[in-house]
Amino acid sequence: MKQTQRLSPLQMQVIKLVELNTVEVEDRIKQEVEENPALETGNNELTGDQENDTIDTNENDLTQEDIILGDYFSEDDIPDYRLNGSNQKSEQNFIEINYYDDKSLNDYLREQIGLLNLDERKQMIAEYIIGNLDENGYLQRDLQSISDDLLFQQHIEATPLQLEDVLYELQDLDPPGICARDLQECLLLQLDRYESTKAVQHAKTILRDYFEEFSRKHYDKIMRQTGISEENLRDAIHEIISLNPKPGNSLGGTLQTAMNNITPDFIVESENGIVSFHLNNSNIPSLKVNPNFSEMLKGYVDNKSSMSADDKQAMLFMKQKVDAAKWFIDAVKQRQYTLQRTMEAIVALQYDFFLTEDETQLKPMILKDVAERTGFDISTISRVSNSKYVQTNTAIYPLKYFFSEAMQTHEGEDISSREVKKILKESIDNEDPSKPLTDDHLTKILNEKGYVIARRTVAKYREQLNIPISRLRKKL
C-alpha cells in the first residue's frame, strides 16, 4: 500500500478555468455546453440588486456566499445561480484596442494569390509557403526544408531555386514587406515601393550594404564610407524608421481574430474617495443542469431494481454527464470566487493608486503578499494574474502591472521598483539624444534622488523597459 495525492475532477477544472481570461472562459463554456447535453445555459437577466464590491479604509472584507451545490437529483436543488457581474447602474465605457481586422493574414494573402495567374502547381507551393509564415509575416524556415516537406507531404517536387521564384511573387503582395526572410529583406521590400527620392536611395544603400553598422548606430562609419552628409543620413534614417518591421501584425490569424479586442476581466471605479470593483461577466451566461436529465436520472434511480442492462447503461451515461455538468458549474463559480478574492486583495493593497491612478502611488507588491491576504496558494495567484486585464476610470492595465518588488530610499522607506523605473524612463526621455545617458550616469541620478540602487540593477530595469544601451539610443 502507498499513499498518493490526486486532484479531483473539480480541482482540475478550477485550475484550468482560473488561468483563462474572460473571453477564453466564454468560449470554454460554449464548448462545454455543446459537448455535454446535461449542461445548459439560462437567461442572463440579474435576479436582484447586487451592488459592487466596495473597498474603503474601514472595510476590506467581502461577504462570501455558500458555494456548495445542492443535490442535483432534485429539480428544486438544481443550481441556477447567476455568474454575471452585478453593477448595472451605468453603462461602462470600455476602452477597446483593436489589433486585427476581421480577416486573417492567411485569408488575405490567399485572396491575392488568385490574382497572380499562377498554374496549379505554383498555386499549391504559394499556399504552402504562406502557411509557414510566422505571426509577424516572416518566412523563418529555409527553402530546403520547405522543399523536403512539399515532397513528402504534398508529393510536389520543387527545388529551393524554384521555391524562391514563387517567393519573389509572394513578396509583391500586400502588406508591403510580407514573406521576407529577415528584417533586412523586409525593410528593403518596403522601400522598393517608395518613390525613388535621394533619401530613399540612401536608405536602400544603408540597409543593403551597411545594415550591421546601422543596427549598431555606427553613423560615423557609415558617413565616412559612403560619403553621405549628416543631413542626408538623417533623412535616410527617417525613411527607415518609418517602415513597418512586422508587416503581418496589421492582420490577424484565426485565433487572434476571435480575440480582436482586449476585454477587461475586472472593472475598478473610484468615486468620492471610495474604490469599488466587480468582475466583468456581462457575456458569461448562467449555468444549470438540464432538468430533463435530472428527472430521467431520478426515474432510473427510483426503478433501479427492475432495470434492464440497457437501462443501467443509460443511467450510467446520464450520471456521468450530470456529474460533469455539476463539476463544471461548481468550477466556474469557484473561479469567480477566486478572482473576486484576489482582486479584492490587490485593490486593498494598491488602494491609493486606484484612488488617484498616480503611478508613484503604487506600493511594492509580490505574489506572496496577495496569497497571504487571500489564503490562496502563490501558484493560484500566479494563475489569476496571467493574461488578465483591469479597467479603471482612465485606462486598461494588465493585472501583472500592479506587481513589483520593493526597494529602499536612503531613509529606509520601502518604495516600489515601478517608481524607480518611472524616474529612469523620464530621465532617458529627457536626455540629450546626441549624448545619451549611460547606466553609470543613470545610477548617479537615482542615487542623488535618494534611491539606493546599484548599476547592475539600473541595467536590469532598463532592459525590462525595453530601452537599449546608450550607444544604441544615440541620434544625430
Tell me the pLDDT tens digit for each residue of 160-213: 999 999 999 999 998 899 999 999 999 999 999 998 899 999 999 999 999 988
* pLDDT at residue 53 greater than cutoff 70: no
CATH class of 404-473: mainly alpha
How much is the mean pLDDT over the chain?
78
Instruction: Give dist(CA 451, CA 445) in Å, integer.
Output: 9
Distances (CA, A) of 314 to 9, 38, 156, 296: 22, 13, 50, 10
Q: With pLDDT > 70 as the criterion, what percentage of the chain qualifies?
A: 78
Grid coordinates standing for 293? 436529465
What 8-state DSSP symbol labels residue 369? H
Task: Show the 3-state SS of 308-343.
Answer: CHHHHHHHHHHHHHHHHHHHHHHHHHHHHHHHHHHH
**Which of the residue ranges 77-81, 454-458, 471-475 has the most confident prediction, judged by mean pLDDT?**
454-458
Q: What are 74-118's pLDDT values in tens digits?
A: 333 333 323 333 333 333 333 333 333 445 788 888 888 888 888
Contact 284, 17 (CB under 8 A): no
- Residue 235 CA to residue 286 CA, distance in Å, equals 59
What are the helix and strand counts (H, E) for the chain? 21, 9
More confident site: 13 or 139:
139
pLDDT of residue 250: 58
Give span(s): CATH 1.10.10.60, the chain. Answer: 404-473
User: Which H or E element spans position 279?
Assistant: strand 274-279
Q: Which three cell numbers stand for residue 402?
A: 500592479
Does the global pTM surpass 0.75? Answer: no
Q: How far apart are CA 369 and CA 341, in angstroms?
A: 13
At 204 the pLDDT is: 94
Rounded Cα distance, 355 and 311, in Å: 61
Whether the CA torsion 442, 444, 445, 451 is positive or negative: it is: positive
Q: Which residue has the higher pLDDT, 201 or 5?
A: 201
